[in-house]
Amino acid sequence: MATSIPRAATPSLIERRSIDYIPEAERHGSLVSQFTLWFGANLQVTAVVTGALAVVLGGDVFWSLIGLLVGQMIGGTVMALHGAQGPQLGLPQMISSRVQFGVYGAIIPLTLVCVMYVGFSAGGTVLAGQAIGQLLHVENTMAIVIFAGLIALLTALGYRTIHAMGRMSSIVGVLAFLYLFASLLHGHDIGVLLNNRHFTLGSFLLAVSLSASWQIAYGPYVADYSRYLPRATSALKTFWAVGLGSVIGAQVSMVFGVFAAALAGNRFAGHEVSFIVGLGASGMLAAVLYFTIALGKLTITTLNAYGSVMSVATIMTGFGGQRSISSRTRLVFIFLMVGASTGLALAGHHAFLKEFTAFLLFLLAFFTPWSAINLVDYYFVTRERYDVPALFDPHGRYGRWNMTGIAVYAFGVLIQMPFIATSFYTGGLVEALGGVDISWIVGLAAPALLYYFAARAKRADIPEQMILPHELGGVDGVRQ
């Protein structure tokens, strides 16, 4: 017989949880909020810039659109599979890496995740600073500092505020993009744009890689924002709510970027914000567009900052076996990570587009193997049978170091190196492949297969069923 677990009447606006397990009594939210969060988070200027790169770097309109959509579906599937873990585990995403890497070993991918958060936040802060600077008529430096203060405040408020931002960004973003598409395409024949076709395999795969990397990079924190959903929430429905929100939002933004780059040419690259707002002419309408750009960046950069706090807390608590952090410590981590990204933004905002492209593509080499290992373990090896209390115990079931997971991860990173083609680094086999970057495909497939067979040989560490922390009205183990 099912045991009824009381729920909190009204969840607090200021989040009190951190990396600890979310009891059933505190679960709340709906699948609609999952869709709006990821839809709104992707209706933003950095996604526009990413889509534009497919054309700026040599692709045509038609095949760039197709390539971006293919990449969205592949990367979005990976991303949404991570998101579906949230309601079942009730934990931030990267905590689950302790199953595959050990309590200490998980620090390896966690450290790289923190680098990702800082890098993406810095890039977003640059673009938001341009919008806020124009909106408030202040220098970009001051605008970046103002934006950083807002990010710190929203991150401190936490989960519920972030989902509220997602709902607001969805509504504002839809209205803004309807207007922007109408303004951009006014007087232009879409058919002529779509007839701009000169297929090359390299340009097509670049478009696929741009959107796939965009989606896969969400993997390390997507479950952070679904972990409060009731545990009875359907994993399949969570997958679709998260995945469709992210894929549709990103594709809308990237399609706009493709058309903008094709029509504007040099007037777009390097002047993204001013070009977009220029579509709205001047006055109040231009101010609204600057506000929309800033709001979109505020949502996604808050996601990055919040995820960074979860990751830093996971690193720091791994050594002491702690299950949570204090509110004061959480604030310190927020200021640390927001400060790091703000410092990078202030130092590098004059050369954003080039550096961001290289960073985005090279980043795949470190996150596709982690995604492959985590998903194969959760869905095919352990089959969701995690011992949640043991995730916080270096002496427990998962130990300090899991050399199988660490070795497969290292293999997954290294095997991609010959196939990477970015301005940051180019592998030795790229020229032989005609300049085509297939590293992310290798980085998903090879570690997934290797880990599947290696981990199945060590199934003694897998419990017979999922073990959850004791909570009011339940028992240790799966609730009866």
Percent of the chain with pLDDT over 70: 89
Top mean pLDDT of 152-156, 204-208, 445-449 is at 445-449
Please list the alpha-helical segments (H only) found in 137-282. 140-157, 159-185, 190-194, 201-216, 235-264, 272-278
Mean pLDDT is lowest, of 40-44, 62-66, 136-140, 391-395, for: 136-140
475: pLDDT confidence band, cut at 50, 70 and 90?
very low
pTM equals 0.88
SS3 74: helix
pLDDT (tens digit, 9 = 90+) per residue, 396-418?
889 899 999 999 999 999 999 99
Spell out the domains of the chain, with CATH numbers in brackets: 30-94+114-357 (1.10.4160.10)
Nearest to 81, CA basis, from 449, 480, 448, 453: 448
234 contacts: CB under 8 Å, gap ≥ 6 = none
More confident residue, 448 or 329: 448
Specify whether the CB–CB gap between 193 and 262 falls below 8 A.
yes
Separation of alpha carbons 105 and 187, rounded Å: 57
Please state whether 330 falls in left (phi above 0), alpha (psi between -120 and 50) or beta.
alpha
Q: Which residue has the tokens 């001051």?
A: 142
301 contacts: CB under 8 Å, gap ≥ 6 = 120, 121, 124, 125, 128, 147, 151, 341
DSSP structural state of residue 421: B
Separation of alpha carbons 304 and 69, rounded Å: 24
CA–chain centroid gap for 66, Å, is: 22
Q: Which residue has the tokens 């095919």?
A: 380
In this prediction, residue 376 carries a pLDDT of 95
